[in-house]
Structure formats: structure tokens, C-alpha cells
Amino acid sequence: MIALYGDKPQCVLMSFAMVMDEDPQTLIKELGHDGLSVVAYEEPAPNCLRSFHPQEFVDLLQARGFACTMFDAEPKMMHGRTLVDHTKFLGPTRFQESLRLGQGVIFGILKETMPHAVAWDGKVVFDPRGYHWSFPNSEFKPLFFFLVQRIIK
């Protein structure tokens, strides 16, 4: 995994680039945008920016022969008008165990307010802000893990 760091709010792009061992500019060309256009004019930066939806990378990875499986840290489901936490049914360690399956990108909340994405190599987090840290980290609350696995050679 190549450690790539940038000075722009492109953590999703940078995290997937690290996991894919790819140059971010190549991914920008393939996806057709850099995630920096303003789409939510009422929001302050960086929340106003388009960013990248994980499904863009699911499609890109599939086209390149990779599977991208999402694991939810807090799986919830609507039952009529009632939101039920399914963690108790699926098991409280399911998310942590998914991280042992291999590398991917973890989406979460940084310092309780900022959406953020980081690359995971199976043992260490590579934060696009220029940090490496162990998981879990008290400043980062994980929400989703996108496991990336090659399926076609």
C-alpha cells in the first residue's frame, strides 16, 4: 500500500488510491471529477464539496476485477416506523472481525463532527492527513468498512 498524502479535502479519493496502489490523478480521470466542486451551497467548506460517493469506487473496482464488500459498524434497519439496531442479532464483534479479512477503506467520523475516510491495510490505518495509527482510535468513530479483494486476475 502506497502512503499518499494531499493538502486538499479528498480523503475518500486518497484512501481508495492507497488501497488500490494507484495514482490519485488516474482515479480522478477515470471517475471524471476531483470531488472539489461545490454542490451544497448552504454548507461551509469542506461539507459543501461533492466529494466521492463510495459507490463510485465500488463500480471502478468491479471494472478492474475487484470485489468491494461493505460492513456496517452499527447495522440498523427500519421495521415499519421503528429503527432496530441489528448489532445484537449479528454480533457485537462482527465489524472488528471484518477488519481482519483484509485491506479496504474505513468511513467514519473524526473528532465527533467531521466525516472522514482512511485506508486500512489489515493491521494499520493510513490516514490521508499524514498519520498512521492502530485501530481503534478514540478520535475516529468507524461507520462503514469497504473490504477490497481481487476476484479476477
CATH of the domain at 122: 3.90.70.10
Measured from the Cβ of residue 27, the count of other Cβ atoms closer than 10 Å reads: 20
CA distance 145 to 10: 17
3 lies in some domain? no
Q: Which residue has the higher pLDDT, 112 or 78?
A: 78
Mean pLDDT value of segment 107-114: 90
pTM of the prediction? Answer: 0.92
State the pLDDT at residue 137: 85
The pLDDT of residue 131: 87
Residue span of the structural domain in which 15 resides: 11-150
Average pLDDT score, the chain: 92
Mean pLDDT value across residues 18-26: 95
Grid coordinates of 132: 498512521
CB atoms within 10 A of CB 123: 10
* 69 part of a folded domain: yes
Q: How many domains does the chain have?
A: 1
What's residue 5's pLDDT? 57
- Flag whether 43 is in a domain: yes
